[in-house]
Structures are given as C-alpha cells and as structure tokens.
Amino acid sequence: MRTKIILLVEDDFLNRRLSKKTLLENGYHIMEAKNTREAFEILKNEKVDLAILDINLGEDEQDGISLGQALQTKYTLPFLYLTAYDNNEIAKRAVATNPHSYITKPFKNIDLLTAVALAIRQYANRQERKPSVLVKANEYSVELPIEEIDFIESDGNYLLFYASGSVYKSRSTIKQILELLPETTFIQTHRAFVVNKTKIDKFNIKSLVVKNEVIPVSRNYVDDISRILK
C-alpha cells in the first residue's frame, strides 16, 4: 500500500515539528509548508492525500480558511484544521469550508491521528461511490450516475435527464443542477440545455449532436463552447 502523503501547513516551527514527528512515527509521509504560497506550490507537483491546515499563517499571509476553501472547490482534497482559534466566529467560517475535522491546540496525539485516519478513510469511501443525482423513473426515485447523463433539458418546472436511451425527470432548474455537476464535464449550451462534453459527437456554432440528438447552441454560449471544445 502506498504511504499516505500529508501536506502540513503551519507557520510556527515548533508546532510544525511536533505535528510532523507524531505523523512520521505513525507511517505518514509529510510535505511541509509555512504559508499558502508554499502549499499551492506543493499541490502543483505532488499527489497529496490529506492537508492539515493551521488557520493563522502569520501577518500579511492568506489564512488557512481561504486555503481550505480552495482545497474544497479546486482540488477536492480532504483536509482538517489544527488551530489555536476556538472562538465561534472563526469556527463558523472554518466549518463553512466543509473540513473533515477541527482540532484546537493544545491537542492529544491520539486526537490528531484519529482525525487523520478517519478523514483519509471517509474520502476514499466517497471516491469509490460514483457521483449521482436523484431523479424519477416513472413513479420511482433512483440514483442516476452523473457520468451516464448525455444531456439535460429544461421542461417547465422540471428537468429531463437523457441517459443511455432513457429519460428521467427531476423537479429542479438549470441553475440548481449546474451547482451539482462538475464543470470539467458539463457545459451549458442554451438557456434550456446542459450537455455532457464527453458525449458530444460533433458541433458547430448553431448546434451540437449527442447520441443523434441535435442540441441547440445559443449565441450567449458559442464562445464558451468553441473555447472549451477546441
């Protein structure tokens, strides 16, 4: 089994050394960063399994919560906070970034090790499950894997999901579904259509074809589609 790599972002040398020692003694490989700039540089070059973030990274430095937000939205990397902050306002900001844990200093080694192990396991279990959306197939609710969706069409107060020759329905809007779908895979082509880019057979400035279905392309989205599909 590959040794798990942990990114430890901590500006205080002593705290960083103590945390690193605990983690090394328990079989983890540690990458160290004193601030967010160093952390992003590591993330560009290394495959990291988990990040441990201090919140206060020094004066004039981007704080750990901002880094946590980036890890959630850009890197989809599990992370936890290890911080001296224990006030309610800071905690609310931190929780809003969906960390796997929030540990305050001073901490017990077992608390840190348990939080790390749980975060890595929970993330791995989540990755094994295919992302899906809840839709209706006649009178039954089913989980439709996102990767199986060919395209989505708005139909009044509902969305129609076309997948593998079948059509499913959900009470939702284009705006709401776009918040759930990965931008790397789906693109809006028209106010009423969203398309899985991997399913596009051909396209021009007026339309594109998915599984022999012609999907309109409105002028508002022509430039985006041309740039992304080149």
151 falls in which pLDDT band (50, 70, 90)?
A: very high
Query: 25 lies in which domain range?
Result: 5-128
Question: What backbone torsions phi and psi does residue 70 show, to the nearest 5 degrees?
Answer: -65, -40
Same domain for 121 and 146, yes or no, is no
Residue 39 CA, chain-centre distance (Å), reads 17
Supply φ then ψ for residue 208, to 5 degrees.
Answer: -140, 165
Mean pLDDT within 44-59: 90
pTM summary value = 0.57
75 and 40 fall within a common domain: yes
Region 76-82 average pLDDT: 90
Q: Residue 85 above 90 pLDDT? A: no
Q: Are residues 113 and 145 in the same domain?
A: no
Mean pLDDT of the chain: 90
Residues 169 and 77 in one domain: no
- Looking at the fold, whether 43 and 120 belong to one and the same domain comes out as yes
* pLDDT (average), residues 172-179: 92
Percent of the chain clearing pLDDT 70 (strictly above): 97
Domain count, the chain: 2
What pLDDT, in 10s, does the model give residues 57-78?
Answer: 877 778 899 999 888 878 878 9
Query: Residue 120: which residues within 8 A CB-CB, separation 6 or more?
Result: 4, 49, 50, 78
Residues 116 and 143 in one domain: no
User: 122 and 145 in one domain?
Assistant: no
pLDDT for 154: 96
Do 138 and 188 reside in the same domain of the chain? yes
Same domain, 224 and 141: yes
One domain, residues 87 and 143: no
**What average pLDDT does range 168-182 have in this prediction?**
91
Please tell me the predicted confidence (pLDDT) of residue 122: 85
- State residue 14's pLDDT score: 93
Split at pLDDT 50, 70, 90, the class of 222 is confident
- What's the CATH number where 204 sits? 2.40.50.1020
Q: Are residues 151 and 44 part of one domain?
A: no
The pair of structure tokens assigned to 141 is 């609710």
Position 58 scores a pLDDT of 77
Instruction: Grade residue 180 by pLDDT with cuts at 50, 70 and 90.
Output: confident
Task: Tell me how far apart the alpha carbons of residues 93 and 17 are, in angstroms, rounded to a whole number.
Answer: 27
138 and 89 fall within a common domain: no
Helix 109-128, helix 13-24: angle, nearest 10: 70
pLDDT tens track for 20-40: 999 999 999 999 999 999 999
Over 90: is that where the pLDDT of 118 sits?
yes
The separation between the first and the last C-alpha atoms of the chain, rounded to the nearest angstrom, is 39
- Using the 3D structure, point to which of 106, 128, 150 is the last residue of a domain: 128
